[in-house]
Structure 1
Amino acid sequence: MRPTDPKQLASNKERTERGEAHAEHPVRAVVFVPILDVRPGRGAREGARGHAAGVPDRTPQARLEEAVGLAAAINLDIRASGVVPVPQPKPATLFGSGKVEELAGVVRMEEVELVIVDHPLSPVQQRNLETAWQAKVLDRTGLILEIFGERARTREGRLQVELAHLVYQKSRLVRSWTHLERQRGGFGFLGGPGETQIETDRRLLSERITKIQKELEHVRQTRALHRKSRQRVPYPAVALVGYTNAGKSTLFNTLTGAEVLAQDILFATLDPTIRALCLPNGSKAVLSDTVGFISDLPTTLVAAFRATLEEVQEADLILHIRDISDSATASQRADVNAVLADLGIHAEEEPDRVLEVWNKADLLDPAEFEHAKNEAVRHGAILVSAVSGQGLDTLLTEIETRLNTRRQTLDIVLQPQEGALSNWIYENCEVIARADLGDGATSLRIRVAPEKRDKLARVAGASRLQTAAE
């Protein structure tokens, strides 16, 4: 395989002509995407990643584009990229010996310092490939961790990323080559882990991991307190989830008027953001933007970000944002649902709680738009464009309808001396209308969550609560 092969490799020169800028003195890299089990009748995705039957395979070209996009997210100087068939994975190197030599030629020709293999590699495979290619090797997990290391901004985000890095790095403490040991790096992988005092390093890593886990437990408790305070307001919680670069942050900004970073790069958003959301008929909700999901999201990251993802677990309504213009949207949907399932949320079994929002309708041609509109109706999804604003009124109405389905609307009359009861209602229920009746009496129309209904009946008296007329 040569870097000038137009079917498999895209040169750095071609990307430069498309106007892609690189950081000053970026690390030179190549990207290889192994396609496992290429026997006739079996898709690469099924053979390589074990996806459920019926989910369309992500094409090798789509996987290559995503891998290059991941590498570009940390401004690597990508000299070449290509798809590499792997009929029989080898325990020692993943690739066969002939293919390892062939790829070594590409590495030498392009004079690269870093090779990205878009597939999980064992520590032994990584070490052997580094020896064969005389270049640093990052697998898919390591690359995603490197991106997250650059994206984290808050103390909580950096703690979670560091924990995932350390857990991953602990398994990689092997004796191997070190000729790039002085090279600058990102969070810790591009510069190399070192090879001396391995046992001491392993002990120090374990101690640091334990310390971070304790700090994150404190973060989790703090987040729990924050959620309790929001529940007392109380406004229902809505969480945005979706594949990375599906347009979640753009939609979040459009709906709330916030200024969350929204760029056409993978993992532009890492740290969660929460804002108030005003709904059409005066209701309010709390909307949270979360980290984008991706296929084969490292288990270390899922575990490390559990404190953040609890915002999703506790949400009353989850908006699954999909890039409907992406040819791999069906596969991306399966990937997101798989991560949600890891969090205990089964989208197919909770259709009232998980609403699909098909974004980027502005990128569809007229025929594609009509087809998507009909399919959205058939699947109970909402077709929108966060950029043009198309469909957002329908989305807000649907959000309000779904949130209010579980919340009962009641009328109650309060006397002037019932200040304590009035305070309790304002702290625990959503007051949607108020009218003065004279003599100090007040009529309130309120919405109450199911878990607060019995408490309200006890403190106010069940006989005073009247179901509001529609």
Structure 2
Amino acid sequence: MSTGFDRDPDEFTRGARAVVVYPDLGGSSRDAEARLEETAGLAVAIGVEVVERVALRIRAAKPGTLIGSGQVEALAETVRDRELGLAVFDAALTPVQQRNLETSLGCKVIDRTGLILEIFGERARTAEGRLQVELAHLDYQAGRLVRSWTHLERQRGGFGFLGGPGETQIEADRRLIRDRMARLRRELDSVSRTRGLHRERRQRAPWPVIALVGYTNAGKSTLFNRLTGADVMAENLLFATLDPTLRQISLPGIDKAILSDTVGFVSELPTQLVAAFKATLEEVVSADLLIHVRDIAHPDSEAQRDDVESVLKDIGVAEETPRFEAWNKLDLLDAERRDDVLAEAAKRDDVLAVSALSGEGVDTLIDRVAARLTLGHRRYRVTLPAADGAGAAWLHQHGEVVEHWVEGDTAIYEVRMAPKDHERFAVRNG
């Protein structure tokens, strides 16, 4: 039987039989089996058949191969015996380590960064998303000898590491890469400016923005669909959502709010992707409130929480930004664990236990979010021209009109609203 690697390696395609390797350097708060499961899920997400999963304990990283020589030999034997064509390392490999491992194992090797970039390359749907992925891919490849690079002017679906039609084994032309990256950054700057204008218009409108954030596959899109009645792709699949989705929702006491579904985070998210997706993530940075959706049934839920908080800090989300944690997937817990989670959540004002799938706890989450957004509302007296129907409608939409009366050509409103909304109204009226 062919391994799929006895031909030009750059013709390597989806459907490869693979081994997933987790080099455990110690000191991690994560469970090795859970980490292997996550990486295998990432590989399956791009059509790879995961045949073997191997956790290797490493005392010290080897400069040439990361893992020890004995471990390399044992892994090579597994590759030969199981006729595998791909080794996926759940670690960041240097170009030298990647090349040496490919030589020793006799199969193609990709690391965690390459794997995540591959998925992003397949999942990005909008022009902006594809620009971001390509920029991240180029940044990653800039310092490497590229084995599966397609000429920069060639258009194809994705920017992958597993090969594709017409690819040849060549070294990256670094000048072309630099030029292309410069063009991509200019295009993304333009996108960012356009996004900023849209955001500015929303602030003038204005409507509060609520952003769903969380680890990939935590259930953000399922909750988004539950809250909005939308049909955003929501599957048991890592990185099912890449391109941001905005929908209008109504909340108790708030006629209109904007809910944003964002790309899921992951541990050791490549810095190239954080930088490239910054324009998209600006929706999170400028949000009025964050809902951090957590998969409370996952064994590494606490570690995943820390990863998400780390990325939020990296992209500039202020610590004082109001946020809730939605402990999702109650439906996956056994009775004892469920009781423990509900009891723990009940002790905290910033936590709600929910099942986005069944809807349990979602109404309470909605009420709590609305209460938080209206917290600190004050009473203001606002005067408008009596004929300003749009201004009157705005006050009714974004505040509670306690009373109003007309004096000649002037309408006077007593309105209870958030100070931020009052400031936005002042901006609206110039």
Scaled to the shorter chain, the TM-score interval is: 0.7 to 0.9
Q: 1:324-348: CA deviations, max 9, x gaps?
A: 11121111111111111112235xx
Cα deviation, residue 280, structure 1: 2.1
Alignment-derived partner of residue 196 in structure 1: 170
The 1:167–1:109 alpha-carbon spacing in structure 2 relative to 1, beyond 3 Å, is same
Q: Secondary structure at the match of 1:239?
A: strand
Question: Which of 193, 199, 220 is the matching residue for 1:227?
Answer: 199
Question: Which of 352, 357, 363 is the matching residue for 1:382?
Answer: 352
The 1:164–1:25 alpha-carbon spacing in structure 2 relative to 1, beyond 3 Å, is closer
The 1:446–1:160 alpha-carbon spacing in structure 2 relative to 1, beyond 3 Å, is farther
Alignment-derived partner of residue 245 in structure 2: 273
List aligned pairs for 1:79-94, cutoff 5 A: 79-94=51-66
Cα deviation, residue 379, structure 1: 3.2
Alignment-derived partner of residue 466 in structure 1: none
Q: TM-score, normalised on structure 2?
A: 0.87
Cα deviation, residue 283, structure 1: 3.2
Cα deviation, residue 185, structure 1: 9.7
Matched, 1:30 2:4: no
The 1:334–1:137 alpha-carbon spacing in structure 2 relative to 1, beyond 3 Å, is same
Q: Secondary structure at the match of 1:95?
A: coil
Question: Which of 355, 370, 380 is the matching residue for 2:339?
Answer: 370
Cα distance in structure 2, aligned partners of 1:72 and 1:372? 30
Question: Which of 391, 397, 418 is the matching residue for 2:361?
Answer: 391
Alignment-derived partner of residue 244 in structure 1: 216
Q: 1:12-48: CA deviations, max 9, x gaps?
A: xxxxxxxxxxxx96122211111114xxxxx4x1xxx
Q: Secondary structure at the match of 1:137?
A: strand
Matched, 1:354 2:323: yes
Q: 1:73-132: CA deviations, max 9, x gaps?
A: 111111211111112210110011111111111111222222100001011111111111
5+ residue gaps, structure 2: 1-12, 150-155
Matched, 1:159 2:131: yes
2:239 is aligned with what amino acid? F
Q: Is the 8 A contact 2:402 2:416 kept in 1?
A: no
The 1:222–1:393 alpha-carbon spacing in structure 2 relative to 1, beyond 3 Å, is same
Cα distance in structure 2, aligned partners of 1:454 and 1:76? 53
List aligned pairs for 1:60-459, cutoff 5 A: 60-173=32-145, 187-191=159-163, 195-196=169-170, 198=172, 201-345=173-317, 349-350=319-320, 353-380=322-349, 381-410=351-380, 412=382, 414=384, 416=386, 419=388, 423-424=390-391, 426=393, 430-433=398-401, 444=413, 446=415, 448-451=417-420, 453=422
1:196 is aligned with what amino acid? I
Q: Secondary structure at the match of 2:56?
A: strand
Cα deviation, residue 190, structure 1: 0.7
Cα distance in structure 2, aligned partners of 1:353 and 1:207? 41
Alignment-derived partner of residue 4 in structure 2: none
Cα deviation, residue 447, structure 1: 5.4
Cα distance in structure 2, aligned partners of 1:222 and 1:278? 26
The 1:104–1:160 alpha-carbon spacing in structure 2 relative to 1, beyond 3 Å, is same
Cα distance in structure 2, aligned partners of 1:212 and 1:443? 51
**Cα-Cα RMSD:** 2.8
Aligned length: 406
Q: Secondary structure at the match of 1:309?
A: helix
Cα distance in structure 1, aligned partners of 2:238 and 2:132? 18
Q: Which moved more, 1:385-394 or 1:311-320?
A: 385-394
Cα distance in structure 1, aligned partners of 2:325 and 2:59? 37
Cα deviation, residue 281, structure 1: 3.0
2:340 is aligned with what amino acid? H
Alignment-derived partner of residue 20 in structure 1: none
Cα deviation, residue 430, structure 1: 1.9
Identity %: 50
Q: 1:236-255: CA deviations, max 9, x gaps?
A: 11100000110000000000
The 1:391–1:451 alpha-carbon spacing in structure 2 relative to 1, beyond 3 Å, is closer
The 1:196–1:315 alpha-carbon spacing in structure 2 relative to 1, beyond 3 Å, is same
Q: Which moved more, 1:272-281 or 1:251-260?
A: 272-281
Cα distance in structure 2, aligned partners of 1:455 and 1:197? 53
Q: Secondary structure at the match of 1:33?
A: strand
Q: Is the 8 A contact 2:204 2:427 kept in 1?
A: no
Q: TM-score, normalised on structure 1?
A: 0.80
The 1:408–1:234 alpha-carbon spacing in structure 2 relative to 1, beyond 3 Å, is farther
